[in-house]
Amino acid sequence: MTQKLVIIGNGMAPGRMLEHLFEEDATAYDVTIFNAEPRVNYNRLMLSPVLSGEKTYEDIITHDDAWYEANNVTLLKGAKITEIDRNLKTVTSEAGVVASYDKLVIATGSNPFIIPLPGHDLDGVLVYRDLDDVGAMLTAAKSKGRAVVIGGGLLGLEAAAGLKARGMDVTVLHLMPTLMERQLDPAAGYLLEKAIKDKGIEVLTEVNSKEILGKDGRVSGITLDDGTVIDASIVIMAVGIRPSFSLAKDADIDCNRGILVDDKMQTSDPDVYALGECVEHRGDCYGLVAPLYEMAKVLANNLTGGNAEFTGSVTATKLKVTGVDLYSAGDFAEADDREEIVLRDAAQGIYKRLVLKENRIIGAVQYGETTDGPWFFDLLKKGTDISEMRDSLIFGQAYQGGASLDPMQAVAALPDDAEICGCNGICKSVIVTAITDKKLNTLDEVRSHTKASASCGTCTGLVEQLMSVTLGDTYDPSKVAAVCPCTDLGHDDVRRLIQVKSLKSIPAVMQELEWKTSCGCAKCRPALNYYLVSDWPGEYEDDYQSRYINERVHANIQKDGTYSVVPRMWGGMTSSDELRAIADVVDKFDIPAVKVTGGQRIDMLGVKKEDLLGVWSDLGDAGFVSGQAYAKGLRTVKTCVGSDWCRFGTQDSTGFGIRIEKFMWGSWTPAKLKLAVSGCPRNCSEATCKDIGVICVDSGYDIHFAGAAGLDIKGTELLGHASSEDEALEYIVALTQLYREQGHYLERIYKWAKRVGVDEIRSQILDDDIGRKNLYQRFVYSQKFAQHDPWSERVSGKDKHEFNPLAIFGQEAAE
Amino acid sequence: MNAFKKNWIKIGKLSDIPKRGSRCVKNGDLTIALFRSADDKVFALEDKCPHKNGPLSQGIVHDGCVTCPLHNWVISLETGEVQGPDEGSTLSFPIKQDGDDILLGLQTSSDGIK
Ligand code: SRM
Ligand SMILES: Cc1cc2nc3c(=O)[nH]c(=O)nc-3n(C[C@H](O)[C@H](O)[C@H](O)COP(=O)(O)OP(=O)(O)OC[C@H]3O[C@@H](n4cnc5c(N)ncnc54)[C@H](O)[C@@H]3O)c2cc1C
Ligand code: SF4
Ligand code: FES
């Protein structure tokens, strides 16, 4: 029988462990994961780019829902384990869910340490550990003001730089004389301080905080030991982490500073393993991913009957603050039996120091120029005797053997086993072999096949150089991602060529643009079909076989193969007649579930495919058309009650919403399009997180766009103001048409806006009157061919075969 | 002992199935999906994805494969094998094309069709 494996915590260490486990044996265990965080697994190292706005949460997901599904892993999100019962071999969550295990893995990571200063429990005192912390910081950053960061280590400085990038004033308080003193010697710490200050961040060293001040339960400032008072609207504590082991301790598993494990990652209970930041191994606790990934590999091997061992590892640190280049590894304290080699170039702000013991490197610090970091680290880990190259060692690898300084040659000269990606422990030969054997051409491909540069990303440059060295001129780092493996062209090129070459059918596109497959794939065909529908209204005939099933049969497929049916309820308004007709349909076709959707209308779920035509026919008789709840096209226009009823309503938001929906329904767009109109800034229809939203005000209509409230959450951008309904409609329609013409297939409006620029869009819609009117006209023209209710078309016979079996025969038929 | 023999059943015409499309045939509890490729070859698979039983007949047909509508596994029309990194396979049935007629090959034993 398959054994039950339960994992507590869904961080980076167990994520990697499962990948190795499934590589070794995909069926050995039935896996259940409990995660206190209410989400899938993401790359924690990349929280700082999310904080600074360089990346989104979506960009940093490492294992999405589909991954858990495909690997048959049960992931319980937002489920914190509060008890382990080793006699019954069960774990219990806060909400009372009990799961039994044959093997248990504890991977609870660590907890940020909170200094128990007076006021530490005020609102606005934050730590920096997970996505919720980033969310809290971003909310606080909206109100600008000053952030005080306590702790000038890796996390504190990343938080400070991120908050500064978001427009806050930032002060870093550090107890020690120089920043990052655990990783840097004082000289490098000094250079770092200068660079941080150059970013406009205030740095105070050798200061001790005394009390966090509050007002109405919220942070208002902080006092220091010397009496200085600093105003602050948030305080971030980044003073260190403590392995999270109380759960294990309560279950009488041996713990010290962390959960004690042996070289096989086994705890004092042979059926319980632990890995990640929560463990203590041979006296060490780790706070960086590279050693955790090694543990992950060892544990996966042991869980599948192997006996690999983890014997500890040395770590190297890089700081991920844009514009600061810093690398440190090993031990660099001064001592009698140690020597050092130092290189300083004040003009260029470069500082390098190697600490040697018995002719071997034991510590390396580099600031300002770090390309040789991995090479030094490699020599350090291998304990290479450097006596032979001692004189030129500090100048780096390129100087060894008199080679020139070209970085490409330096990469080419690296030995095969030189480590390129420290986080993942990937060496040069692994990457080169993957590139040549698997014919990899893009950085993304190399990432997904080797994991190199997939964690903290600081070795991306090295990986790219390695790709250039291996692939020669065929590698072009600026190359855009192809639509799919059937072509090398990106979406923009395909859209442009369809226009330039007047391509009007899918076979024509594939022929002219030299598709590599005979008839495309499930990725490119729907994209091409959309581009053609959008570019050649009235000329191109929609190809149903190139549409996803939902759009082909105008209903949403459910997990059991039945469908759901959602009719339009214009602007969310309905009537007793409509409700009665829905009730009758539900009874007549024995529809198992009826639900009010998040889009202000009604969903009938569990309709059999054979019944769809009958359902639509009855709904059509009552005046309904398809709600297109399946379409990459106009979905809903949510409204509030507005001036018709509401005492605050400034305009007829309901009427305007209905008008927009009636004008725009049926139109196809690159991805789904959802609108809302609110009657006043109280915004009850949530217009400011929609693709396009209208907020009515006394003087007219504020038009917003590019919001998101699904996989990402983002408030809208203001497009502009219109003083009449007609004018507002023209802006909205022109904006939609611009998006239809420029968007990549499956790219929501907010992503398109991010790609082409909000200002650019604003100026095309607001400043160019003729352009806007033309966009509006093109939309109106294409609606002539789009506004046909697909349900009534189907009911009246179009492609009827879709809904009936070709033949039915049972056992009798064959006798 | 059961005697096995292959039985060719005429189930319809090529023109009944849209190009790069699919139709279903019901045989008792078993649903069989018939696919027509771009070059007019017909294939038959059980209408059940090896992943989570998704109805393959509702997927997109391309280059000798169909992509399942539920979670995008790609299945070979010829063999029923799952392509790429995923693993598994779906029952496949022999087809004979006689002019425009499509014949489905089922094994019959004395106790019914297999
Ligand atoms: C029915 C409904 C849930 C409900 O019971 O309320 C729903 C159901 C589904 N949503 Fe949704 N979404 C529904 C409102 C929303 C909303 C809220 C809203 O519209 O105000 C959102 C957040 C806003 C947004 O659109 O981003 C929402 C964000 C998503 C997303 C994430 C999209 C994104 O780009 O972030 C998906 C996944 C996707 O599209 O790839 C999704 C996908 C789905 C699918 C189509 C999943 C699927 O592929 O099977 C679900 C279809 C179920 C069905 O058969 O009906 N649904 N979905 C809602 C239908 C509204 C309607 O009347 O048409
Ligand atoms: C902002 C930031 C930047 C970083 N940058 C770097 C870097 O550049 N380089 C580097 O090497 N490292 C970096 N790190 C450190 C690195 O992220 C960690 O070493 C690594 O994530 C630890 O992995 P883990 O699996 O042990 O724990 P985590 O990733 O912390 O995961 C632990 C998970 O367990 C969950 N959990 C805890 N208790 C329970 C419970 N009782 N029940 C259920 N679930 C529970 C938690 O919610 C959490 O999701 C950074 C960390 C942060 C916060
Ligand atoms: S309806 Fe939307 S939120 Fe609910 S399970 Fe489906 S996709 Fe997820
Ligand atoms: S059921 Fe077919 S891919 Fe999931």
Strand A259-261, strand A279-281: pairing: parallel
Residue A133's CB: how many other CB atoms inside 10 A?
17
Q: Does A526 touch chain B (CB under 8 A)?
A: yes
pLDDT over 70 percentage in chain A: 97
- Residue A601 beta carbon below 6 angstroms from any ligand 1 atom: yes
Domain annotation covers residue B114: no
HSE-CB of A205 using CA atoms within 13 angstroms: 17
Q: Do B26 and A809 touch (CB under 8 A)?
A: yes
The string of pLDDT tens digits covering residues A222-265 is: 999 999 999 999 999 999 999 999 999 999 999 999 999 999 99
Residues of chain B with C-beta less than 8 angstroms from the C-beta of A525: 60, 62
Position B34 confidence tier, pLDDT thresholds 50, 70, 90 = very high
Per the CB < 8 A criterion, the answer to whether A411 and A404 are in contact is no
The string of pLDDT tens digits covering residues A347-363 is: 777 888 898 989 999 98
Write the DSSP string, A737-756: HHHHHHPPTT--HHHHHHHH
Helices and strands (H, E) in chain B, number of each type: 0, 11
Mean pLDDT of B20-34: 92
CATH topology of domain A634-788: Sulfite Reductase Hemoprotein; domain 1 (3.30.413)
pLDDT at residue A400 in the model: 67
Q: Where in chain A is the domain with CATH 3.90.480.10?
A: 550-631
Residues of chain B with C-beta less than 8 angstroms from the C-beta of A557: 55, 58, 69-70
Q: Do B55 and A561 touch (CB under 8 A)?
A: yes
Name the residue of A597, A672, A744 to mutate for ligand 1: max ligand atoms within 8 A of Cβ: A597
Name the residue of B49, B60, B89 to mutate for ligand 4: max ligand atoms within 8 A of Cβ: B49
Out of A368-382, A627-641, A766-780, B14-28, least confident range: A368-382
Residue A584's H or E segment, with its range, is: helix A576-588
Cα separation, B30 vs B52, in Å, equals: 16
Q: Residue B15 belongs to what domain range?
A: 5-108
Residues of chain B with C-beta less than 8 angstroms from the C-beta of A522: 59-60, 62, 67, 72, 74
Q: How many domains, chain B?
A: 1
Residue A325's H or E segment, with its range, is: none
Cα separation, A421 vs B110, in Å, equals: 64
At residue A482's C-alpha, the angle toward residues A761 and A468, to 5°, is 110
Q: What's the A235 CA to ligand 2 centre distance in angstroms? A: 21
Residues of chain A with C-beta less than 8 angstroms from the C-beta of B113: 811, 814
Tokens of A372: 């040789």
Q: Is A320 exposed, middle or buried (0-12, 13-18, 19+ CB in 10 A)?
A: buried
What are the backbone angles phi and psi of residue A705, rounded to the nearest 5°?
Answer: -155, 175
Minimal Cα–Cα distance from B25 to chain A, Å? 5
Name the residue of B73, B81, B89 to mutate for ligand 4: max ligand atoms within 8 A of Cβ: B73
Strand A350-357, strand A326-330: pairing: unpaired
Mean pLDDT of A277-299: 93
pLDDT at residue A280 in the model: 96
Check residue A687 and report its DSSP letter. G
pLDDT at residue A783 in the model: 96
pLDDT at residue A815 in the model: 33
Q: Is B98 exposed, middle or buried (0-12, 13-18, 19+ CB in 10 A)?
A: exposed
The string of pLDDT tens digits covering residues A681-721 is: 999 999 999 999 999 999 999 999 999 998 889 999 999 99
Q: Give me the torsion for CA of A242, A248, A254, A258, rounded to 10°.
A: -10
Mean pLDDT of A627-633: 96
The string of pLDDT tens digits covering residues A395-408 is: 887 666 544 456 67
Ligand nearest to the CA of B70: 4
Which chain A residue has the Cα nearest residue B108? Answer: A814
Domain annotation covers residue B69: yes
Question: Could you identify the atom of ligand 2 that is nearest to the CA of residue A130?
Answer: 53
Map residue A188 onto helix, strand or coil: helix
Tokens of A242: 């403590």
The string of pLDDT tens digits covering residues A55-114 is: 889 889 999 999 999 999 999 999 999 999 999 999 999 999 999 999 999 999 999 999
Q: Which residues of B touch A (CB under 8 A)?
A: 7, 9, 11-12, 16-21, 23-28, 31, 34, 38-39, 51-55, 58-63, 67, 69-72, 74, 86-87, 106, 108, 112-113
Judge if ipTM > 0.85.
Answer: no
Residues 6+ apart with CB under 8 A from A377: A316, A329, A330, A364, A419, A422
Map residue A776 onto helix, strand or coil: helix
Q: What's the A660 CA to ligand 3 centre distance in angstroms? A: 26
The string of pLDDT tens digits covering residues A483-496 is: 988 888 889 889 98
Residue B97's CB: how many other CB atoms inside 10 A?
12
Q: Where in chain A is the domain with CATH 3.50.50.60?
A: 3-110+243-303, 125-239
**Average pLDDT over chain A, rounded to whole?**
90
Mean pLDDT of A296-305: 95
pLDDT reading at B109 higher than 70? no
Handedness of CA A789, A794, A799, A801 (dihedral sign): positive
CATH number of A550-631: 3.90.480.10
The CATH number, out of the four listed (3.50.50.60, 3.40.50.150, 3.40.50.460, 3.40.190.10), of the domain defined by the range A125-239: 3.50.50.60
Handedness of CA A608, A610, A612, A615 (dihedral sign): negative
Mean pLDDT of A171-179: 93
pLDDT at residue A458 in the model: 72
Domain annotation covers residue B60: yes
CA Rg value for chain A: 31
pLDDT reading at A659 higher than 70? yes
Residue with the larger pLDDT of the pair A20 and A797: A20
Q: What's the A410 CA to ligand 3 centre distance in angstroms? A: 51
pLDDT at residue A331 in the model: 80
Using CA atoms, how far residue A522 sits from A108, A662, B66, in Å, is 40, 32, 8
pTM, two decimal places: 0.53
Tokens of A371: 């390309």
Position B108 confidence tier, pLDDT thresholds 50, 70, 90 = low
Q: Where are the alpha helices (DSSP H) in A601-757?
A: 612-621, 642-645, 653-664, 725-742, 749-756
Q: Do B23 and A549 touch (CB under 8 A)?
A: no
Domain annotation covers residue B51: yes
pLDDT over 90 percentage in chain A: 65
pLDDT at residue B112 in the model: 46
Give the nearest partner residue to A557 out of B28, B52, B69, using CB atoms: B69
Q: What's the A786 CA to ligand 1 centre distance in angstroms? A: 22
pLDDT at residue A769 in the model: 93
Out of A96-105, A416-425, A537-546, A764-773, least confident range: A416-425
A vs B, Cβ pairs < 8 A, gives 97
Domain annotation covers residue B90: yes
Position A182 confidence tier, pLDDT thresholds 50, 70, 90 = confident
pLDDT at residue A335 in the model: 75
Question: Could you identify the atom of ligand 1 that is nearest to the CA of residue A712?
Answer: 35
- Residue B32 beta carbon below 6 angstroms from any ligand 4 atom: no
Q: What proportions of chain A, in percent to the nearest 5, are helix, strand and coil?
A: 35, 25, 40
Cα separation, A335 vs A548, in Å, equals: 68
pLDDT at residue A181 in the model: 87
What are the backbone angles phi and psi of residue A41, rounded to the nearest 5°?
Answer: -95, 135
Homologous superfamily assigned to A3-110+243-303: FAD/NAD(P)-binding domain (3.50.50.60)
Mean pLDDT of A634-651: 94
CATH number at residue B53: 2.102.10.10
